[in-house]
Structure 1
Amino acid sequence: FKFLKTGDIIPVRFEPKIDNEKDIAFTIDGKERLLSINSLGQKLLNLNISNKSVIGKNIKDIWPDYYKFSSNDYKNPIEKEYAVFYKDSREFIYDVHIDPIVDNRKSLIYKIFILIDITDKINAEKALRQSEEKFRSIFENSLDGIYQSTLDGKYIAANNALVKMLGYENKEELISRNIKKDIYYSEKDRPQLNERDKLFVTSLKKKDGAIVWVEISSSVVYEGSTPLYYEGIVRNIDERKKSEEEIKYLSYHDFLTDLYNRYFFEEELKRLDSERLFPISVIIIDINGFKLVNDTFGHEKGDEILKNTAKILKICFRKEDIVARYGGDEFIIILPSTTKVVAISIVARIHDLFKQKFYKEFIMSLSIGIATKESREQNINELIKIAEDNMYKHKLIEKQSMHSSMITSLEKALEERNYETHEHMRRMRSLALKLGKKLQFSEERLDELSLLSSLHDIGKIAISDNIILSPLKLTNEEHEMMKKHTEIGFRIANSNSDLASIAKGILSHHERWDGKGYPMGLEGKRIPITARTISIIDAYDAMTND
């Protein structure tokens, strides 16, 4: 197609030719009448060119949007906005090019319209724009940090989430920072080019110096084979990291005492069995009388004793020592680079602190065994066996000593809490022996009766003072609580071999001949005779002395 210029000979009818089937071409005269149009134009404008009456019609009547492209400027070819046509529910978009043809007097002779199909181009640009808008929306609204950075460590772009995550005021402030020096906790933590394209966990520095744990998915953007920049997603995993650390901590620690657990101890035992750490001492500790307190006052009090024992042990040992709960009321400690003499001095301090903390309130002590490895020939597991044997030997000695004072201590516990007076217990013992002899009890039964007369109410030491010493009439709930002292006393007696013989008497000394007593509603001869005897003399003493 050749444009006609001023001075050219104008043919009577000028028909522009378009070689492809996508573009439109037509001409109009100076009075805006249609002179010619190609076949595609006819289809989109719904024209029937065989109908000669269409030629010569005003273009405005044929193409309603023509007014958008009319102009009185004939000096230069002009370009207007896009033309849009619809055919078979499809949209077609055209870039409109108009060339005016004028004569020597600069009067308009022709207008040549060339409409170039740019539908695919516009749709591609629209899709690209939507994609960019979608990316921008994701970039700005993501809860994760998103960034682009240069290879040498400067931010190119960063979203608001990353700015907030690192504690900066705005993007500009963050972008001004050197990533390697100012953002990474350690410069060596920033991956090199060949270490990208994978997920990694690291710690970053916030503006205020605080550390935040993050998971970064980073990749390298290339142009051909040349790396241009990095881009990536940064996820805050502080909470996850804390949870992982907590799980790891719990896997190595006893949840009650916060000491190391047996699993960790056994792993550390292997690690510390090294000649450079000789001599290695092992200490095993067991709480004497713990079961009695646990049964008397309940597991809550027992847990409190275990926790306080753990605190004492933490005070007595070094950071490099491994202090662990071995199970139940047993504790075990590894002391690297520690002689037996030093271990013995530590044990003496543990005994002192334990007595200060517990002995006044509870009848308890510690049995402790020590063993020391001084050469490679000794087996570390045999060392624990030796320490255990030493602890059990100590326990046997301690048991004899404790049992000899157990009864006196329990009686004293009742007196100190004003549950029973010394005079009442003396009278009860005297009356019990007199009645027992009258009933021709055996010596063994008389011994049981004497012991029961002193300790039949021992379960009361676990009942609240607010109930035991209340001057008011007990409520139903308080009365039920008071009645539990028989069961508590039974557990106390059963937990100690010296008291086991009077356990049933303690349990049933509030039973009645008619079966209306407690806790089991026994009647008649089903109630142990020692319990029946104690009930009678206790009532007699109350009537004659209160």
Structure 2
Amino acid sequence: MKDKTTSTHHSGPWRHFWRSFFTTPSTFEEYQPYVPALKISLIYLFVSLFWIIMSDTIVEAILPNSLNLLWVNIFKGIIFVISTTLFIFFRISKDLRHISNLKSDKDSVHAALDQTNIIFSSYLESSPDIMVFSLDKEYRYLAFNSRHKYSVLREYGTEIYIGANAIEVLKDPDKASQLKADCDRAFEGEFFSSITTFGGNRPDSQSYWQRYFSPILNSERNPVGLTCFELNITPFKKAQEQNLFISYHDILTGLYNRRYFEEAIRKSDTAEELPISIILGDVNGLKMVNDAFGHHIGDKLLMKAADIIERACLNKGIAGRWGSDEFIILLPYHNAEEAVTLLDTIKAECSSTLVNSVPVDISFGLATKTFSEETIVSTMKSAEDRLNRNKIAESKSMRNNIIKTVMHALHEKSSREEAHSKRVGELCRKIGTAMNLPDVEINLLNLAGFLHDIGKIAIDDNILSKSGSLTEEEMASIRTHPEVGCRILRSSYDVSEISEAVLYHHERWDGSGYPEGLAGDQIPLHAQIIAVADSFDAMTGKRTYRDSMSTESAAKAIEEGAGSIYSPDVVNAFLKIVQTYEWGVDDFAL
């Protein structure tokens, strides 16, 4: 076997030689200079021998014993020299042209490769989002681009160079250990990727890089080094972290959301974390605040409540938003007494905090899991039941306080509105008495008259205080106040009975009013009474853009509107009051 291998080894060059002797090289590397020279020499030898032998034989046959044989030989020699010279010239020129073409092709390929290398190198050097470096198996730098060099310099204060040990450059032991482990994997022939960071310790100053490790293989396919490409994935990583944050946090308050809390409760439900206390909270009057002041104020109320709860739970437990107006607090290792102490802290701060004159009022329910036999579900149910009981007891006064706050805010907008509300309420009470209504209805009627314009809290201040007549757009805004007022009052159990009176007090007997165009007895009685009282006070009140009417003129206008604008029965009762001057207030004009 050994002899055969050796024979094959030595016969290889000879086969290559004879193949090149009979074929034309296709690349410059295949060209062997001695082959054309040998070809020309052999051809010249064969032609010369043939000429010498054959030419003398032919001449002797043609000119035997000729005296001109000398001249014939001279002429024959000249022909031989000229023919062989031409042959050698054309043969050599052909080979030279072929060689020139092969060299031109090689130069073109090299030029193209050089251009590609320049472009590739330029891309690697100029891109701020690509770092690349190569190491040998001793972790020494073989090559690196500028971005990697400056990143290492900025991060560790060390300028790297060819031959520097990449592991020793890293002053962070954890990062050095990780890089060594990654390099060792690549030296084993593995292709893989990992993620590393550059920058400070603060998350907002860090950049994230995806590393792609590739081993450098020799001709025997054995690793002799590695190349690492690093791509900047910071935007992608930040977006990923933001998506993760959003998936587990409430966007408005920044607290953990229900999804996160359900997982947290399940993970905390272990014997090691007993006792576990759970607190549920519900913001009182949020809907009323949204209707009265707008959702932006309601959102501020929720954010303030969240801030109070989160600060109170710092280093004690975790807080989250459980629903639209509900919060939850999870307190591992806290018994009921400790949870009550924390709850008292939250309540105390809430009671002293106002948002747009509205107090932050939250009803709470607390339950504690003390034994492993109890389920966390039953603890949650107990906390929810206690919350519902507390909310019924506490939210009633809260809603009344919000209504008072709304009216106070409205009257602060316009002192004219405050006087108007009081006079309409008083006149409604008088009309109800004249119509022999029960005392309970008269009291409700008086309150309805006082609150009939509560929806104006949502109207722009410039419109309410405008001295001149209103535009169509401003009038459209004014016409929304009955519906807004109705929504506010329906949120309160104490005054929801009068919400319809507020909603329909601008309806007209003939159906030409708003918001629904009701007619006749479709209009609730209390709304019919408010319509008369409201119109009379508006006629007799002072306005900057018109003079006020006398009580007689206003009463006559009301009387003329009976059956078209106003209820005839209500107008009759109203006229009785006018005739006897039973006002209850001295003067209806401001």
TM-score bucket (shorter structure): 0.7 to 0.9
1:218 aligns with 2:204: no
Change (3 A) 1:364 1:525: farther
Equivalent pair of 2:396/2:492 in contact (CA under 8 Å): no
For residues 482 and 360 of structure 2, what CA distance do their matches in structure 1 show? Answer: 22
Q: Deviations over 1:197-233 (max 9, x none)?
A: 3332222446999643211111222333653211121
Name 2:177's counterpart in structure 1: 188
RMSD between superposed Cα atoms in Å? 3.8
| Rounded Cα–Cα distance in structure 1 between residues aligned with 2:284 and 2:242 | 33
* Aligned 1:253-332 pairs, distance under 5 A: 253-319=249-315, 321-332=317-328
User: Corresponding residue for 1:149?
Assistant: 135
**Alignment partner of 2:353: what SS?**
helix
- For the 8 Å contact 2:280–2:387, the answer to whether it is kept is yes
Change over 3 Å in CA distance of 1:471–1:364 after alignment to 2: farther
The residue identity in structure 1 corresponding to 2:122 is E
Of the three residues 83, 93, 104, the one matched with 2:99 is 93
Give 1:529 deviation, angstroms: 2.9
How much identity, in percent, do the aligned residues show? 29
By how many angstroms is 1:263 displaced?
1.3
**Distance in 2, Cα, partners of 1:530 & 1:515:** 17
Tell me, yes or no, if structure 1 residue 230 matches structure 2 residue 226: yes
> Compared with structure 1, are the counterparts of its residues 369 and 58 closer, same or farther at alpha carbon in structure 2 (3 Å cutoff)?
same
The Cα of 1:471 is off from its aligned counterpart by 3.4
| 1:250 aligned partner | 246
TM-score (norm 2): 0.69
> Please, which of 97, 103, 122 is the counterpart of residue 140 of structure 1?
122
**How many Å apart are 1:330 and its aligned residue?**
0.4
Kept in 2: contact 1:278–1:374 (CA 8 A) = yes
Per the TM alignment, residue 436 of structure 1 is displaced from its structure 2 partner at its CA by 1.7
Q: Deviations over 1:392-413 (max 9, x none)?
A: 1111211343356565555444
Letter in 1 for 2:36: I
Offset of 1:255 from its aligned partner? 1.4
Offset at 1:280? 2.1
**Aligned residue for 1:42?**
none
Distance change (3 Å), C-alpha of 1:484 and 1:178: farther
How far is the alpha carbon of 1:442 from its aligned partner?
4.4
CA distance in 1, matches of 2:326, 2:211: 46
How big is the shift at 1:26? 8.2
Would you say the 8 A contact 1:220–1:231 is kept in 2? Answer: yes
Match of 2:3 in 1: none
1:371: how far off?
Answer: 1.5
Offset at residue 545 of structure 1 (A):
1.4
> CA–CA distance in 2 between the matches of 1:514 and 1:477?
24
Output the CA distance in 2 between the equivalents of 1:341 and 1:179.
Answer: 58
TM-score by length of 1: 0.74
Do the aligned partners of residues 54 and 457 (structure 1) sit closer, same or farther apart at CA in structure 2, a change above 3 Å counting? Answer: farther
1:488 Cα deviation from its structure 2 partner: 0.8
Q: Say yes or no: does 1:159 pair with 2:145.
A: yes
Match for residue 24 of structure 1 among 36, 40, 48: 36
Query: Could you say which residue in structure 1 is the equivalent of 2:72?
Result: none
Change (3 A) 1:513 1:84: farther
2:460 to 438, 454, 464: 464
- Note if contact 1:26-1:36 (Cα within 8 Å) is conserved in structure 2: no
The count of aligned residue pairs is 465
Deviation by residue 1:296-321 (Cα, 9 ceiling, x = unmatched): 33333222221221111122111452
Match of 2:341 in 1: 345
1:100-139 CA-partner distances (Å, limit 9, x unpaired) = xxxxxxxxxxxxxxxxxx94x9867865774465355324
Instruction: Give SS of 1:368's match.
Output: strand
Looking at structure 1, the residues matched to 199 and 472 of structure 2 have their Cα atoms a distance apart, in angstroms, of 62
Distance 1:271 1:125, change over 3 A: farther
3-state SS of paired residue (1:498): coil
Higher strand share: 1
SS of the aligned residue for 1:327 comes to coil
Deviations 1:438-479 (A, max 9, x none): 234345543432221111001112223232233344444333
Q: How does 1:355-434 map to 2 (within 5 A)?
A: 355-358=351-354, 361-362=357-358, 365-402=361-398, 408-418=404-414, 424-434=420-430
Cα gap change, 1:208 to 1:220, in 2 (>3 Å): same
How many angstroms apart in 1 are the aligned matches of 2:288 and 2:39? 113
Check the 8 A contact 2:421/2:452 in 1, yes or no.
Answer: no
Q: Aligned match of 1:504 in 489, 500, 506?
A: 500
Q: Could you tell me which of 342, 345, 350 is aligned with 1:354?
A: 350
Q: 1:47 aligns to what?
A: none
Asked if the contact 1:273/1:380 (under 8 Å) is kept, the reply is yes
Structure 1 gaps of 5+ residues are 1-17, 39-50, 67-82, 86-91, 95-117
Q: In the alignment, which residue of structure 1 is the partner of 2:578?
A: none
What is residue 196 of structure 2 aligned with on the other side?
203
Q: State the shift of 1:379 in Å.
A: 1.9
For the residues of structure 1 that align with 2:86 and 2:201, how far apart are their CA atoms? 75
CA distance in 2, matches of 1:511, 1:186: 77
